[in-house]
Structure 1
Amino acid sequence: MPIYNKLVRDRIPEVIARNGKKCSTRILDNEKYIEELKKKSFEELEEYVKAQTDEEAIEELADILEILHALAKVHGSTIRDVDEIRKSKAEKRGGFQDKVFLIEVED
């Protein structure tokens, strides 16, 4: 029996049961939940980096976005609030659309 010990989407136990299998789960406290969300964000980012097609990349970006929604919520915010901060930073410092690659800065 495989052991996963990782955060999964809420309905994964239902999916497992529909496939005729049993699983064990537990509900995390907030501290452990945040820790596991952070781990999951790295896992999903790694999967995005390894994506071979645009379709795979978009799937992984959707997973990352779901994690961002959850992280915003546990920090007492919303993805809308996070996006407002993103917009403010983009207005002040720019985004990444121009593909600027900094090589060095002289003192």
Structure 2
Amino acid sequence: MPTYNKLIRNKIPQIIKANGKTPTTRILPEDEYIKEICKKTQEELTEYIEATTKPDKLEELSDLLELINALAEHEGTTLEEIDAIRKKKAEERGGFQNRVFLVEVTDN
């Protein structure tokens, strides 16, 4: 019997039951939940980096967005508010589309 010890999406236990198996789960306290969200975010980012097809990359990006949404909820905010902050920052400091890579800064 495999042991996972990881955060899963809300409907996964029902899916496991529908496949004739019995999941053992527990509800995490808030501090552990946030720790696991952060671990899951790292896992999904690694999966995005390792994905080789566009559909797989988009799937991983959607997982990352779901996790960012969960973190936003934890902070008492929304993706819309975060996007407004992103846009303001992009206006003030730019985005990353130009692919500028800073090598070093020297004193004049």
Q: TM-score, normalised by structure 2?
A: 0.96
Q: Which runs of 4+ in 1 moved over 4 A?
A: none
Query: Any gaps of 5 or more consecutive residues in structure 1?
Result: none
**Match of 1:97?**
97
**Match of 2:85?**
85
**Match of 1:61?**
61
Query: Any gaps of 5 or more consecutive residues in structure 2?
Result: none
User: Is structure 2 residue 23 aligned with structure 1 residue 23?
Assistant: yes
User: Is structure 2 residue 71 aligned with structure 1 residue 71?
Assistant: yes
C-alpha distance in 1 between matches for 2:29 and 2:75: 14
Q: Percent identity?
A: 54
Residue identity matched to 2:89:
K
Matches within 5 A, 1:28-39: 28-39=28-39
- What are the Cα deviations for residues 63-107 of structure 1, in whole angstroms up to 9, with x where unaligned? 000000000001111111111111111011001111111111112
Residue identity matched to 2:11:
R
Q: TM-score, normalised by structure 1?
A: 0.97
C-alpha distance in 1 between matches for 2:71 and 2:45: 15
Residue identity matched to 1:75:
E
C-alpha distance in 1 between matches for 2:86 and 2:25: 35
| Displacement after TM superposition at 1:23 (Å) | 0.6
Is the partner of 2:47 in helix, strand or coil?
helix
Q: How much is the aligned-residue C-alpha RMSD, in angstroms?
A: 0.7
Residue identity matched to 1:53:
T
Q: How many residues align structurally? A: 107
